[in-house]
Amino acid sequence: MPSTNNACGAVAIITNSAGELLLHLRDNFPGIAWPGHWSLLGGATDPGEDPSGTIVRELREEASIAVETITELFEVRDENGSGSMITFFAARWEGDETLLPLTEGVELRYFEPRHLPTPIPPYIRDAIHRYLTDTSI
């Protein structure tokens, strides 16, 4: 059963000029939310940190990504994983994801929206579809 808590986090739906989505293959370690799943870059909010600070820090820490503009989209609770309220952001990043210094997880890869990999946490897949429906990338 998922935990119910007041924890928060932030993730980024990162696209490139080709309209592809940057996804992150999570480590397959016991005890983490959604082990071995494709997800979005991001993480937990530190005490005293707001979601926008969280996503900037997490992008830098996990993959040394700096984006010029990041837009807050919406919040979704990870009902079946951590139980955290997750703030979703949108950003663009152009570059070769295979050259990024990944500090967490197994792999970063761009995917065409119609060819998303599996498995993806349901709340992430739903949020990506919501974003794609609401936005023309």
Residue 1 lies in a domain: no
Provide CB contacts within 8 A for 48, sequence distance 6+: none
CATH for 75: 3.90.79.10
Structurally, the chain folds into a number of domains equal to 1
Mean per-residue pLDDT, 11-23: 97
Residue 124 lies in a domain: yes
- pTM for this one? 0.91
Structure tokens at 118: 């599996």
Residue 97 lies in a domain: yes
Residue 56 lies in a domain: yes
How far apart are alpha carbons 4 and 22 in whole angstroms? 29
Residue 34 exposed, middle or buried by CB count within 10 Å (0-12, 13-18, 19+): buried
Instruction: For residue range 119-132, list pLDDT tens digits in order.
Output: 999 999 999 999 99
Residue 125 lies in a domain: yes
* Mean pLDDT, the chain, whole residue set: 92
State which residues form the domain around 80: 8-134
